Amino acid sequence: MTPSQIQEFYKNQTVFITGSTGLLGKLVLRKLLTTCEPKKIYLLIRQHKEKSPEERLEMLLESADLRRDQSEFKGKIFVIKGDCGLPGLGISQFDRETLINDTTCIIHIAATIKFNEHLRLAAYVNVRAVQDLLNLAKQVRDLKAMVHVSTAYSNCNQKDLIKEQFYEPGMTATKLLKILGCLDDETVTNITPEVLGSWPNSYTFTKAVAENVVKTEAQNMPICIVRPAILMGAFQEPEPGWLDAIQGITAFLMGTYLGLIHCHLADVKPIYLIPSDYTANIILAAACYATEKTSPPPIYNYTGFEKNLLTKSKLYEYGKLSTKLYPSVHAVNACLLIFTKNKYYLKFLQFWLHLVPAYIVDLICLSLGKNRRFVKMYQKVHRMCDALGYFNVNFWKYETTNCETLWKALEEKDRELFPFNMENLEWWDFFGKCVIYARINFLKDPMHTLPQAKRKQKFIAFFYYCIAFVLVCVLWRLF
Ligand SMILES: NC(=O)c1ccc[n+]([C@@H]2O[C@H](COP(=O)([O-])OP(=O)(O)OC[C@H]3O[C@@H](n4cnc5c(N)ncnc54)[C@H](OP(=O)(O)O)[C@@H]3O)[C@@H](O)[C@H]2O)c1
């Protein structure tokens, strides 16, 4: 069969990917391996919790669901041991030379996405690594294209329309790294709010500084920036402490689903959710069009397509529907969704619906000699809600012309192989599938437990009505 334009682009290329062990990186890797025929793929992987990069590659191939074709793919994939938190990406001279001689395409996905990461680590991983990677890329003999993955929220301090253009960062990378070089960690913590200025956290701030690095240091390079909104739809493998492992809105939805969050959103404005696999597709497609060395490099705000944006009220409706249709037996509380913009009401709900029951259950656990975990769990969830709150109650509008133009430029075959147009996305269909997928794979809760889960929800609701009844009686007696 004749390859499509994108397939032709990657045919026999050597692609260097960072961040392949993460949510998005896995999808990019999988798509590249299953849809295209690259000659080689180099993956920058760091040592992690006693696991060597090589062992992590084995795990990655399993989790990226490439089991069937592992033997075929294995010969193409090579590990580059490194760490974006270290100078020069922590890679050996030998590997560096290999990359310089061999690579033809670079996809930089790695980042620390923890909103409130210590500024030093966030700056090293999200900013210095971009500088180091660009230095390396400039030496690559035959670089055809490079994609830098940023975020739609890198310029979230802009209050109007966020265009597909560069904005002034709070600070240049040189200045930021110089400051960090002179101060100890504690002082850095103390001055962080001042450094961040109008950015809400170290993640968005460092992503903005990194974009400026691309602007100033990647002139005349075949590079582009993709700024995705909030990814949804493919999940990390469950791990202990899984709430940390899943991302933004997914965590929020799963939390709601388990009865952990009674959340912090409102109104009919759009919420920028995007399917993760579509994001992988636009990244791969964008690389093909980065070859032209446009100055300044093109930026793609991948936040959805204007004609079919998901609104917060729809999200509310779908959230409610999915908790009603597919509750889980593992729910620890009522699966209840309340949207509010009022932070006092939110605190009130968190106190009565989370902390009070959690203290009661923990007290029972204590008296039975069991582990107390509910209060801690809810406190963690509340911290997460606070971190997400800024993004939930603020509103941005995005220019998406470049994304839409890119879509129009794709030939029919590529549109089928690498879909990312969201105009015809059936949101409920997508949303419902995500919930079912997560229920089965994530919570290990098969669908046949649904009746039991629904009974459990009724029981919890009954429990709340009883408490409310007792409270009303007590108040009645008192007054
Ligand atoms: N998730 C979203 O909703 C979202 C939205 C917009 C933009 N993005 C952007 O998309 C990219 C990927 O995000 P994601 O959701 O896939 O994040 P993720 O699941 O946390 O993955 C992050 C990746 O970066 C790697 N990484 C982190 N620190 C590293 C270091 N010091 N050295 C080497 N590798 C390191 C991680 O490797 P380890 O496995 O070793 O930790 C992992 O492969 C990021 O650039 C992020 O800014 C994400």
Domain ranges within the chain, ordered by starting residue: 5-221, 312-391+437-478
Task: Enter the tokens of residue 215.
Answer: 């602007």
What mean pLDDT is predicted for residues 130-155?
97
Ligand 1 neighbours (beta carbon < 6 A): 19-25, 46, 48, 83-85, 109-113, 125, 149, 151, 228, 230-231, 247-248
Exposed (0-12), middle (13-18) or buried (19+): which is 467, by Cβ within 10 Å? middle
Ligand 1: atom nearest CA of 231 is 3
pLDDT on residue 303: 95
pLDDT on residue 69: 66
* Cα 470 to ligand 1 centre (Å): 48
Pocket test for ligand 1, best of 16, 24, 272 (most atoms within 8 A of CB): 24
Nearest residue (by CA) to ligand 1, atom 11, is: 109
Residue 148's nearest CA partner among 140, 137, 163, 157 is 137
pLDDT on residue 40: 96
Range of lowest pLDDT (7-16, 208-217, 450-459): 450-459
pLDDT on residue 251: 53
pTM for the structure as a whole: 0.90
Nearest residue (by CA) to ligand 1, atom 39, is: 21
What confidence tens digit (pLDDT) does each residue in 256-298 have? 655 555 555 445 578 888 899 999 999 999 999 998 888 899 9
Residue 272's nearest CA partner among 302, 235, 313, 317 is 302
Please provide the DSSP assignment of 207-235 as one string. HHHHHHHHHHH-TTSSEEEEEE-EEES--
On whether the CB atoms of residues 298 and 316 are closer than 8 A, the answer is no
pLDDT on residue 414: 97
What confidence tens digit (pLDDT) does each residue in 215-227 have? 999 988 999 999 9
What mean pLDDT is predicted for residues 136-162?
95
What confidence tens digit (pLDDT) does each residue in 83-134 have? 999 999 999 999 999 999 999 999 999 999 999 999 999 999 999 999 999 9
What confidence tens digit (pLDDT) does each residue in 24-55 have? 999 999 999 999 999 999 999 999 888 999 99
Nearest residue (by CA) to ligand 1, atom 18, is: 22
442 has pLDDT over 90:
no
pLDDT on residue 279: 96
**Three-class secondary structure of residue 172 per DSSP:** coil
- 164 phi/psi in degrees, rounded to 5: -85, 65
**Three-class secondary structure of residue 3 per DSSP:** coil
* Cα 231 to ligand 1 centre (Å): 12
Residue 217's nearest CA partner among 321, 292, 135, 150 is 135
* Cα 111 to ligand 1 centre (Å): 4
CA distance 444 to 273: 25
**For residue 115, what is the enclosing H or E element?**
none
On whether the CB atoms of residues 440 and 446 are closer than 8 A, the answer is yes
CATH number 3.40.50.720 given to 5-221: yes
* Cα 434 to ligand 1 centre (Å): 21
On whether the CB atoms of residues 151 and 227 are closer than 8 A, the answer is yes
245 has pLDDT over 60:
no
